Amino acid sequence: MPEFDIAISLFFQNSVTIKFIPLANINKSSIFPELIRLLKIFGLGSLVFVLVMSFFNEKRANNSGKEPSPMRMTDAERIYFKNIRSAYYDIENRRDAKMTVYRHGKRSKDSNMPTLVFSIITNQLNDEAYIFLEPNFEDLPIHVKWSIPEKNQEGEIIFEGGDKFAHFEFAQKITPLLQENTIFEVRVKESWIPLWQDKKEKNAVMVTIEDYRKLISFSNLDETPL
pLDDT digit string, tens, across residues 158-189 = 998 777 888 899 999 999 999 999 999 999 98
Mean pLDDT across 18-39: 47
Percent of the chain residues past pLDDT 70, beyond the cut: 66
CA distances from 153 to 40, 80, 104, 148, 191 (A): 42, 37, 29, 5, 21
**For residue 197, pLDDT beyond 70:** yes
More confident site: 185 or 22: 185
Mean pLDDT across 30-38: 53
The pair phi, psi for residue 21, each rounded to 5°, is -120, 130
Give the separation between CA 127 and CA 72, rounded to whole angstroms. 6
**For residue 143, pLDDT beyond 80:** yes
Q: Which of 57, 208, 55, 15 is nearest to 121 (CA)?
A: 208
pLDDT level of residue 206 (50, 70, 90 thresholds): very high
Contact (Cβ atoms closer than 8 angstroms) between residue 41 and residue 97: yes
**For residue 25, pLDDT beyond 80:** no
Q: Model pTM greater than 0.85? A: no
**For residue 22, pLDDT beyond 60:** no
**For residue 202, pLDDT beyond 50:** yes
pLDDT level of residue 40 (50, 70, 90 thresholds): low
Give the separation between CA 164 and CA 151, rounded to whole angstroms. 32
pLDDT digit string, tens, across residues 114-142 = 999 999 999 888 899 999 888 888 777 89
Q: What is the pLDDT of residue 94?
A: 76
Q: What is the pLDDT of residue 56?
A: 33
pLDDT digit string, tens, across residues 41-96 = 554 444 434 433 332 344 455 545 556 788 999 999 999 999 999 999 999 987 77
Q: Which of 137, 115, 111 is nearest to 12 (CA)?
A: 137
Give the separation between CA 80 and CA 122, rounded to whole angstroms. 13
Lowest-confidence region among 4-18, 21-35, 112-126: 4-18
pLDDT level of residue 30 (50, 70, 90 thresholds): very low
pLDDT level of residue 220 (50, 70, 90 thresholds): low
